[in-house]
Amino acid sequence: MEMHQIGQVYLKAGHPKEAIQYFRKSSGKAEQPADAKLIAMNELYIAVATGQTRPTNTQLDSCFKAVLERFQHTKDSRGEYLALHEYGLALERQHRYDEAVQALNSALQGREKLALEQETAQSLTALARIHHEQGDDREAVPYLHRAEQLVNVKKYPETLMDIYRLLHRIYLTADNEELAAPYRRKLLGLERQRDETIAAQQAFKTGQREEAERLDLLHALDRAEQAMQFNRRIFLAIVGMLLLLVIVGIMILHRRQREKLHRAQLNQLQQEQALKTAAAIMDMREQERAAIASHLHDEVGALIAVAKLNLRKVANDHALLEGKTRLVSAQRLLDDIGTTVRHVSHGLMPPLLEKVGLKAAVTEFVEEIMATEAVSVSILIVGLDDTSAWKKSDQITLYRMVQELIANALKHAHASKIDVQLVELENEVTLMVEDDGRGMESPNAHNKGMGLALIRKQVEHYGGQLEISGRHPRGTAVVVVLPLPTVSC
């Protein structure tokens, strides 16, 4: 319900001060020029409410003068005549009868001009009442008869009852019971109709204040709801900002993690490139060794063989004993050189690896050491039956690890017994060499030898594991685990 309607409820309930407040609120919410008539009506009702608060003549006249000017400005003739009518009623309450009749006559003329029958009847009844109060019943009766003809009894029974009551009173005052009786009967009939609805009307009147209070409460609830909505918007804005901060934080964290991952990938690529480079260097080194071994074996060995044949022929043909002896000595030196060249070439590129494979090459190497009877060597090989799918460099690396670890046990540990185990698992090879030598005198002793340092570098290259254990004088155990992805399952 709008403020204007709430003000009307308070005005009808006899609470003019409260009504004035709501009419002013209604005017404050109105927008010019669309609501100009509403503002004028609010000012009219404020003037009416002011008339119920016993104002001074000046105050009353000032209020209605402003209202009339407002209606004239908005060119609302009906509103202007309503204001004149209400002004006349307010003047009547102040007993300013002449001014009241003047105002009501102006309202009457205007309403008749606009053919407003009900409103014309109201002005006629008000004029008749004032003439009766002044003792001029002869002037009042015509007004009442004219008003009776205009009133719609179904729509405005209260107005008609006022007319019948006033006519009955006038005729009783004139001692004309015959004319007074019909109006008395008509009045009683309307009163009976009124009594049938009086309970509902009374309930309505009683509930007017409660309705106004309820409306106040509704407005208070509305303001509270608006405040809650405002707070909710503030809360949502804060939550939105926090979410934005969280999203920005997540984006920053994600970017840092991506940069970290990129750096890790770059490091991995660098490591992989380094491994590839190292592998390429090792392959080139093995190729060079193979070339050197082939050159020593084929060319140098052939030259030494030719030299030996020539020396042998010369020795057989020479007559001098001393010269023959020197030739035999030179022949022995050439034999030693040939043996050395053969050993060097075999060390650079073991020929058995090419001929019989890794398993047989390791086994023959161990048997050659056992043939010297200088040390007892036991060997256990599990798997390695088919290494054709292995890289040649992987076979050579593993073969040389066996050589180096057994050589260390002989030269440095002075072992009398050596156990060698070579086990092939899925994509993994484990080599263990254990001796009963003097072991290591200090924890860092195994870091000093060139052979073990080379093995350590090779294990790191393959991404394997190296474990060396042993204490003086209890022997040493070396375990090498190499993951070999090129090994076929």
pLDDT tens by residue, 144-189: 999 889 888 778 888 888 888 898 999 888 888 888 899 899 889 8
Q: Say if 488 falls within a structural domain.
A: no
**Are residues 204 and 266 both part of a single domain?**
no
**Are residues 19 and 85 both part of a single domain?**
yes
At 444 the pLDDT is 57
**Are residues 297 and 356 both part of a single domain?**
no
- Please give the residue range of the domain that contains residue 306: 248-335
Assign 487 a pLDDT band (cuts: 50, 70, 90). Answer: very low
Alpha-helix runs per DSSP H in 296-391: 301-317, 321-348, 351-355, 358-371
Residue 380 β-bridge partners:
421
Contact predicate 433/402, CB 8 Å:
yes
Domain boundary among 335, 366, 388: 335
Percent of the chain with pLDDT over 90: 25
**Are residues 293 and 409 both part of a single domain?**
no
The DSSP secondary-structure symbol of 473 reads: T
Cα separation, 471 vs 438, whole angstroms: 8
Helix, strand, or coil (residue 478): strand
Q: Say if 238 falls within a structural domain.
A: no
Q: Say if 218 falls within a structural domain.
A: yes
Mean pLDDT of the chain, nearest integer: 81
**Are residues 20 and 157 both part of a single domain?**
yes
> Which range has highest mean pLDDT (68-82, 373-387, 457-471)?
68-82
**Are residues 159 and 21 both part of a single domain?**
yes
Q: Say if 31 falls within a structural domain.
A: yes
**Are residues 178 and 284 both part of a single domain?**
no
Q: Say if 240 falls within a structural domain.
A: no
CATH code of the domain containing 459: 3.30.565.10
At 301 the pLDDT is 57
Domain boundary among 272, 302, 335: 335
**Are residues 356 and 398 both part of a single domain?**
yes
Q: Say if 89 falls within a structural domain.
A: yes
pLDDT at 87 over 50: yes
Domain boundary among 306, 335, 364: 335
At 241 the pLDDT is 92
Helix, strand, or coil (residue 100): helix
Q: Say if 345 falls within a structural domain.
A: no
Interval 124-134 mean pLDDT: 92
**Are residues 373 and 317 both part of a single domain?**
no
Percent of the chain with pLDDT over 70: 77
**Are residues 432 and 388 both part of a single domain?**
yes
**Are residues 207 and 297 both part of a single domain?**
no
At 488 the pLDDT is 42
Query: Looking at the 3D structure of the chain, how many domains does it have?
Result: 3
Cα separation, 413 vs 337, whole angstroms: 30
Task: Output Rg (C-alpha) for the chain, integer angstroms.
Answer: 65
CATH code of the domain containing 98: 1.25.40.10
**Are residues 98 and 224 both part of a single domain?**
yes
Interval 380-395 mean pLDDT: 80
Sign of the alpha-carbon torsion through 191, 195, 200, 205: positive
Q: Say if 243 falls within a structural domain.
A: no
